[in-house]
Amino acid sequence: MMIDADHQAALRHEAEHWLFDSEPPVSLYPRQEGLPRIRVAKVIATRGCWAQCTFCNFSYLVKRNRRSAPAPVIDIAQVRHAVRERAPVDVIKLVTGLSFGEPSMYFTQLIASVRERRDARVQAFSAVELDHLSRRENCSARQILVQWRQAGMDQLGPGGSELLIDEVRQRVSPYRLSTERFLEIHKVAHQSGLTSVAGLLIDRQTKPEHILEHLDRLSTIASGLDAIELQCFEPEKSPLSIVPGARLDQILRALKAIKTMYPHLPVRLNQRTIFSIDREVLLAEAGLDSVLQTVWEVEP
């Protein structure tokens, strides 16, 4: 759905109110029903990553010494077995760190092996991996996406965590792709007949103006998005454990801002961030559409 510039500006103005207003968006009489669950399986190709983003638990496990052994990658037979034997899910998410060893063909085979499960959507990797592979193999992101789509990919994932503000990216993830490249890869995915999911990472220090700017940036790809995942920084899983996670009122404000600017897009949040019925009721009231619940996970 395309939104014209005037309408987008009016929605942005309304979103500003939710982010900057002194009253948190909490109802005194919230509705009581729980939110729908999206059952997720995670296939982790490798936990090693050279990119060293400070907030990431994949980066945390990588040794900086170049002579150390590369992180192991998952065996295709192990993935096939899990896909056949484990419980049914709605989405299979393929995720990985950035490795120097595996070619894009390895990831194509991984996609084909999970596609055996016809009843689940296959969300494969993200703009970060596509940028890395296209540079390493000297080919375009479009060429890799064509192969992946033929193998059974349905949509491009949001990546571990994104805040499309280059100044922040330079500070916490200087080796990841730029905002411009992120948006370009999502557009290529949409032109290739795929949908994609965007993320929004927030922590205690995320400024409301950064959230607005991030949402502005998404306007150029919003028509091809399937959903937005609101991702809350988890300090205990990161080398940045001294930075506190997002407060509930920050999450509620960000949620309201997303729903105001992109009312047609479902917003999802991970089950881990909810952790209580009270929180779920407040989040549902603020417009959260569904909860991502990991049912099973395989890794090397």
| Helix (H) or strand (E) run with residue 199 in it | strand 195-202
Letters for 147-176 (x = contact with ligand SF4 by CB under 6 A, - = none) are -------------x------------x--x
Nearer to ligand SF4, 130 or 288 (CB): 130
DSSP character at residue 53? -
CB of 71 to ligand SF4, least distance (A): 11
Nearer to ligand SF4, 58 or 148 (CB): 58
CB of 110 to ligand SF4, least distance (A): 16
DSSP character at residue 224? G
CB of 272 to ligand SF4, least distance (A): 17
Residue with tokens 């192991």: 72
Supply 105's token pair: 């063909």
Instruction: Give the separation between CA 258 and CA 283, rounded to whole angstroms.
Output: 13
Q: Is 232 one of the binding residues for ligand SF4 (CB under 6 A)?
A: no
Q: Give residues 173-192 in contact with ligand SF4 (rule: CB under 6 A).
A: 173, 176
DSSP per-residue letters across 92-158: EEEE----SS--HHHHHHHHHHHHT-TTSEEEE--HHHHHHHHHHTTS-HHHHHHHHHHHT--EE--
297, 89 Cβ separation under 8 angstroms? no
Nearer to ligand SF4, 173 or 250 (CB): 173
Beta partners for 290?
268
Q: Give residues 30-49 in contact with ligand SF4 (rule: CB under 6 A).
A: 49
Q: Is 98 one of the binding residues for ligand SF4 (CB under 6 A)?
A: yes
Which residue type does 110 have?
A: L
Task: Tell me how many residues contact ligand SF4 (CB under 6 A).
Answer: 13
CB of 69 to ligand SF4, least distance (A): 18
Supply 8's token pair: 């987008």
Q: Give residues 100-129 in contact with ligand SF4 (rule: CB under 6 A).
A: 128
Q: Distance from CA of residue 19 to its chain's centroid? A: 21
Q: Give residues 50-79 in contact with ligand SF4 (rule: CB under 6 A).
A: 51-53, 56, 58-59
At residue 40, the 3 state secondary structure works out as strand
Number of CB atoms found within 10 A of residue 280's CB: 20
Nearer to ligand SF4, 173 or 196 (CB): 173
Nearer to ligand SF4, 114 or 128 (CB): 128
Nearer to ligand SF4, 59 or 250 (CB): 59
Nearer to ligand SF4, 44 or 284 (CB): 44
Instruction: Give the separation between CA 128 and CA 1, rounded to whole angstroms.
Output: 25
CB of 175 to ligand SF4, least distance (A): 7
DSSP per-residue letters across 263-279: TTS-EEEEHHHH-SHHH
Binding positions for ligand SF4, rule: CB under 6 A: 49, 51-53, 56, 58-59, 97-98, 128, 160, 173, 176
